[in-house]
Amino acid sequence: MIFNGIEINKITDYLWEIPKSGKMTVPGRIYTSEKMLEKCIGKDESLKQVINVAQFPGIQKYSLAMPDIHWGYGFPIGGVAATDFETGVISPGGVGYDINCGVRLAKTDLCFDQIKNKIPDIITGLFQSIPTGVGASGAISKISGKEVMQILVKGSEWAAEREMATENDIEFTEEKGCLKNADPSFVSARAIERGMDQAGTLGSGNHFLEIDIVDEIFDERAANVMGLFKNQIVLLIHTGSRGLGYQICDDYLRKFLNAGNKYGINIPDKQLICVPVNSGEGEAYFSAMNCAANFAWNNRQIIMNLANKSLEKTLRIKEKDLGFGLIYDVCHNIAKIEEHNIDGKIKKVCVHRKGATRAFAPGSANIPLKYKEIGQPVLIPGDMGRYSFIAVGTAKAMDETFGSSCHGAGRLQSRHQALLTGKGRDLIGDLKKKGIEIQTKGLKTIAEEMPFAYKDVSDVVDTMHNAGISKKVARIRPLGVIKG
């Protein structure tokens, strides 16, 4: 079929392919249902971006898109691409500005009935404890540039050394909260400066902290392994590397301006600027990106620690009775060097996941022992008015998507469109009618992030579940939200 001028063929009910043509060296593949394809996908330039990425030097198998795909900087958000380590490229646009934007899910031993009358107090306490909004700072005492550089190398371990993280927290964070190839000498002074007062801050935009209730269990066995049960109170954190990560991306986009001429790389979009993975420039960006990823893991760890203390204070509850603990932390804006089966051979590749979550299968060496039998937890936040999902990775993901799945709902409307849609509406009142308390720095953020601005995340998650890429474990529903 021809869809918005692009040929796209149905492979299964949940997988569609753009055939290789022109300068594409691999096909494009989009995980979606026909309903989502017609209703949500292709209204922007995201399918054209899938085609553009398929022209990358050294790209392997497919240019992939998850069902939450929408237009992004160069790469589509919801895009996955693996490039050969020896002959391929690495692209800042394939990671994004918010390096290691990710999600962290923490459990409690509390049931809804124990806190149902205290949600407003809980949200007020969290909002007072965790700095939110553009330029948010002051979660902990302002740290020196030297300390920031230690965070860039140590990641979550920096928080552990200061009694803001436990061994459990480190174990259940992707990569144990620290990518080893991180060298602060490749990070600019400006980026270091921007990170000096942003450790433990939530930021703005689609970043949030939620108190949620587990309202449905799909896989009892996997839920038991994770420690999830019906009506349980859990906490979801979504944020990234803040201004430090943004600056690193911006710095390297400028540094790579002449790389195309130097290496003879022709790209269809200047936003896809890239360099060979194993070039000096590629190694420098990779090291700096790893630094930002470590900063982000440490950031979410500090926020989790602040939230723990806030809950204990607000509820006047002891640590052992709260039962607060990390289930898992995943990143969804990253490039990693991994080994995957490419046409029957194990190859080293650079996997770009931009708005996509790692979804490794049961038995994978890179996931905690606790989750070996069920697969890596995959955390998929929705919008603040509906629900989010917890899933697990599968063997099929390893075969088809380089061990990747969706990362969220995906936008339906731009932020500007959402503001127009929300004009004149009592947005806070709309959320309260659904039983959701919210505190934020401004009404503009609420309008930009209302449910009408997003796809229904259940459609996204069901697509990946039915395609066999990630399997649903549980659904959680927001009771209270803080945002910037």
Q: Is it the case that residue 156 has pLDDT exceeding 90?
A: yes
> Which range is least confidently modeled, 196-205, 246-255, 396-405, 420-429?
420-429
Q: How far apart are CA 356 and CA 85, in angstroms?
A: 20
User: What's residue 331's pLDDT?
Assistant: 97
Residues 6+ apart with CB under 8 A from 266: 23, 260
Mean pLDDT of all residues in the chain? 94
Q: How far is residue 423 CA from its own chain's centroid?
A: 29
What residue ranges define each of the domains in the chain, with the CATH number in brackets? 2-483 (3.90.1860.10)
Q: Which of 238, 332, 407, 465 is catalytic?
A: 407
Question: Which residues, listed in sequence order, are joined to residue 239 by a DSSP beta bridge?
Answer: 102
User: Encoding tokens for residue 82?
Assistant: 């693996």
Residues 6+ apart with CB under 8 A from 25: 54, 55, 56, 59
User: What's residue 273's pLDDT?
Assistant: 96
User: What's residue 417's pLDDT?
Assistant: 87
Q: Residue range 262-291: average pLDDT?
A: 96
With b for 16 or more beta-carbon neighbours within 10 A and e for fewer, the 1-22 pattern comes to: eeeeebebeeeeebbbebeeee
Q: How many CA atoms lie within 13 A of 260 on its CB side?
A: 13
The residue written with tokens 């022109």 in the block is: 22
Are the beta carbons of 351 and 335 closer than 8 angstroms?
Answer: yes
Beta-strand pair 437-440/470-483: parallel
User: Which tens digits make up the pLDDT trace of 89-118?
Assistant: 999 999 999 999 999 999 999 999 999 999
Q: How far apart are CA 437 and CA 433, in angstroms?
A: 9
User: Which tens digits make up the pLDDT trace of 220-251?
Assistant: 999 999 999 999 999 999 999 999 999 999 99
Give the Å distances, CA to CA, from 269 to 5, 234, 273, 410: 19, 42, 8, 22
Quick one: CA dihedral 290, 179, 105, 216, positive or negative? positive
Q: Residue range 193-208: average pLDDT?
A: 91
Residue 389 CB neighbour total at 10 angstroms: 27
User: What's residue 38's pLDDT?
Assistant: 84
- pTM score, two decimals? 0.96
Beta-strand pair 63-70/28-31: parallel
User: What's residue 149's pLDDT?
Assistant: 97
Are the beta carbons of 304 and 104 closer than 8 angstroms?
Answer: yes
User: Encoding tokens for residue 278?
Assistant: 């194993």
User: What's residue 141's pLDDT?
Assistant: 67
User: What's residue 426's pLDDT?
Assistant: 85
Helices 242-255/280-315 angle, 10° precision: 170
User: Which tens digits make up the pLDDT trace of 421-445?
Assistant: 888 888 889 899 999 999 988 778 8
Band (pLDDT 50/70/90 cuts) for residue 60 is very high
User: Which tens digits make up the pLDDT trace of 362-399?
Assistant: 999 999 999 999 999 999 999 988 999 999 999 999 99
Q: Residue range 199-222: average pLDDT?
A: 95
Are the beta carbons of 18 and 27 closer than 8 angstroms?
Answer: yes
The identity of residue 9, as a single letter, is: N
**352 part of the active site:** no
